[in-house]
Amino acid sequence: MLFCAKKCWLPFLSDESPKTTSPVDTARAELTQMGVNAALKVEEKMGDGYAIEKNGDGYVIRGGEKGILYGAYRLLQKMYLGQDACCEETQPAYQLRMLNHWDNMNGQIERGYAGHSFFFKDSRFCWDENRIRFYGRMLASVGINAVTLNNVNVHYPADRLCTEELLPEVKKIADVLRAYGIRLIISVDYALPVTLGLETADPLDERVQAFWNKQVDLIYSYVPDLCGFLVKADSEFRPGPYMYKRNHAEGANLLARALKPHNGVLIWRCFVYNCRQNWRDHSIDRPKAAYENYAYLDGKFDDNVILQVKNGPYDFQVREPVSPLLFAMPGTCKAIEYQLAQEYTGQQIDLYYMAEVWHEVMDVLEDMPPHIAAVTNLGDDENWTGHTLAQANLYAYGEMAWLGRAFDGTKVLKDWIGLTFGQDFEEKDRLEKMMLSSRGIYEKYTANLGLGWMVTPHSHYGPDAEGYEYDLWGTYHRANREAVGIDRSDKGTGYAQQYPEKLAKLYNDPATCPEKMLLFFHRMRYDYVMQDGRTLLQRLYDDHFEGLAGAEKLLEDWQAMEGKLPQAEWEYGLDRFRRQVENARNWCDRMNTYFHRFTLIPDEKGRTIYD
């Protein structure tokens, strides 16, 4: 059994990463180590793209500098899988294929579920070169080309990453990752000018502009190919241009103009909403916030600004509609942001394969933005992702970012299983089924039908139906004894009207709104009759029972794999699946009791609902 969780889907690579400095060198070294005869032909105009051709008993890989490396890893993976490695020229669907680490310099990771940071510890850089190189290999093997090392919530000392104090260290990491075609992005603090002595960070103040120009020149003297900055401004207590009564185009353009001479980009997050909302006030509806803050600014952003928009209007809940902002602003460059870290989706304890979510987005969003980002699920755990099976989300994300609409979550999963567990793994089909069913199972036992937010406050793992109900974050469902959900139609908050006409119409009416999002868009009575004739209440009960049964089945399936995996790995997984069942039971019982206490209507099938 070759399987080694540490080496993810690249079990065939050497333990020691070759100490290369450029993508082409890396490609050559990896191919040589594997004894593969391949001629490398750099054709710069192919950019990140590549082509693989047969050449006698060897191969030719043509591509731009990075394309050659992607082609080399593709070739090695295909050979390992026993698949035909040759391909016509392939180009990535997205230009920037980014990973955002939410690593703090004290070593903790915000919403991290796989240990600590492998970049930072005790407020300084602390990293193992071989691990960082293996990380580079993993990322390059699925075509990821830019990473942010530090959390979007930037606090001291991370705010110094773009100052003389820490730039020498940033440069060292940039030098290592350059060999894997990866460029760095730094998360910056909008108030840095003030921290460093200016009296203002007002984007229209010339002193502030001069400050950033100088700062950015300095940064590029250390890291000449820095991809750019990532900024979370005026969001969850972070400073931003609103503090100076400036809009977000004015705020973003300030930094974009400083970056422009160096070909850098400014990535500006649109996660801006009122996080001190009063639950008594029904006039504010949080999902409307991103659109309200940005849509009117279309055309006002400089051409090196990228607006990074979360896939849903809320915050990475299990089921959300696609953010209306992604349909708007045709004159503005955007990136879609996903969260591989399973903050609301099981925290890398519960199984949750994300491909379905990405398919759902592609199904409704006709024009995908040119860039893509994901919050990572990585940490310093031996297996990188806490749950070994969560590695699949990173692999599939990279593949999806390359393939775009040609992405097929099932096919990619098959490859991942083959690469990770070996071609002779007897339980391939079973594992595939488990993973493909995982999102549906999780959705059923947690907050189904688009409800969301019924999680334990702060930790976001486990149930708490009213945990956020009377809080300040704008995350309510307003359940009472008759109905649950928020009316976001034109008769309610009007959120549905932020969509293009066709979708607005679809979502506006409970009869046409996809049922899985019914309670996101509508406030419904428990006796509402669903498409299959069941009442809404019965559906809520059924889903929770079915979700729990699904989690139990996952555990059973895993138990059946004993002996088919290295024992330690199997036991590790067993612990996760047991915890998942416990979590699912907790959700099922508490949610059913919650709705039963309101309605006093028993389950039609007579299953136990506790009082």
Residues lying near ligand GCU in the complex (CB under 6 A): 110-111, 152-153, 232, 236, 271, 315, 343
Measured from the CB atom, the residue of 343 and 487 that comes closer to ligand GCU is 343
Q: Name the DSSP class of 324.
A: G
In the structure encoding, which two tokens stand for residue 42, read together? 């750099």
Q: Please state whether the peptide bond connecting residue 324 to the residue before it is cis, i.e. omega within 30 degrees of 0.
A: no
Using CB atoms within 10 Å of the CB of residue 4, give its burial: 0 to 12 exposed, 13 to 18 middle, 19+ buried: middle
Catalytic residue among 48, 315, 399, 415: 315
- How much helix, strand and coil, in percent to the nearest 5, is found in the chain? 40, 15, 45
In the structure encoding, which two tokens stand for residue 32, read together? 């040589």
Could you tell me whether strands 50-55 and 87-90 are parallel, antiparallel, or unpaired per DSSP bridges?
Answer: antiparallel
Measured from the CB atom, the residue of 232 and 248 that comes closer to ligand GCU is 232
Measured from the CB atom, the residue of 50 and 468 that comes closer to ligand GCU is 468
Residue in the block written with tokens 């607005």: 504
Q: Please state whether the peptide bond connecting residue 514 to the residue before it is cis, i.e. omega within 30 degrees of 0.
A: no
Phi, psi of 41 (to 5 degrees): -115, 105
The candidate with the shortest Cα–Cα distance to 472, out of 267, 185, 242, 274, is 274
Residues found in the chain: 611
Catalytic residue among 236, 303, 482, 582: 236
Q: How far apart are CA 153 and CA 111, in angstroms?
A: 12
Q: How far apart are CA 98 and CA 185, in angstroms?
A: 9
Write down the least CB distance from residue 258 to ligand GCU, Å. Answer: 23
Write down the least CB distance from residue 212 to ligand GCU, Å. Answer: 22
Measured from the CB atom, the residue of 127 and 461 that comes closer to ligand GCU is 461
Angle, CA 347 vertex, CA 559 and CA 189 arms, to 5°: 160
Using CB atoms within 10 Å of the CB of residue 304, give its burial: 0 to 12 exposed, 13 to 18 middle, 19+ buried: buried
The candidate with the shortest Cα–Cα distance to 93, out of 406, 404, 425, 314, is 404
State yes or no: is 382 an active-site residue. Answer: no
Measured from the CB atom, the residue of 273 and 425 that comes closer to ligand GCU is 273
Residues 6 or more apart from 410 whose CB is under 8 A from it? 355, 432, 436
The candidate with the shortest Cα–Cα distance to 591, out of 531, 548, 527, is 548
Q: How far apart are CA 493 and CA 485, in angstroms?
A: 12
Q: For residue 174, count other CB atoms closer than 10 A to its CB.
A: 20
In the structure encoding, which two tokens stand for residue 258, read together? 């400083």
Return the half-sphere exposure (C-beta side, CA atoms, 13 A cut-off) of residue 374: 25
Q: Provide the CA 244 distance to its chain's centre, in angstroms.
A: 31
By the 8 A CB rule, do 118 and 131 touch? yes
State yes or no: is 315 an active-site residue. Answer: yes
Write down the least CB distance from residue 51 to ligand GCU, Å. Answer: 38
Rg (CA), the chain: 25
Element (H, E) at 334: strand 334-339
Q: Name the DSSP class of 323.
A: P
Q: How far apart are CA 544 and CA 559, in angstroms?
A: 23
By the 8 A CB rule, do 210 and 243 touch? no
Catalytic residue among 343, 350, 542, 543: 343
Measured from the CB atom, the residue of 70 and 461 that comes closer to ligand GCU is 461
Element (H, E) at 136: helix 129-141
Q: How far apart are CA 579 and CA 324, in angstroms?
A: 36
Write down the least CB distance from residue 546 to ligand GCU, Å. Answer: 28
Write down the least CB distance from residue 327 to ligand GCU, Å. Answer: 21
Q: How far apart are CA 147 and CA 225, in angstroms?
A: 13
Q: How far apart are CA 388 and CA 166, in angstroms?
A: 33
Measured from the CB atom, the residue of 198 and 275 that comes closer to ligand GCU is 275
State yes or no: is 343 an active-site residue. Answer: yes
Q: Name the DSSP class of 61.
A: E
Write down the least CB distance from residue 344 to ligand GCU, Å. Answer: 8
Catalytic residue positions, numbered: 236, 315, 343
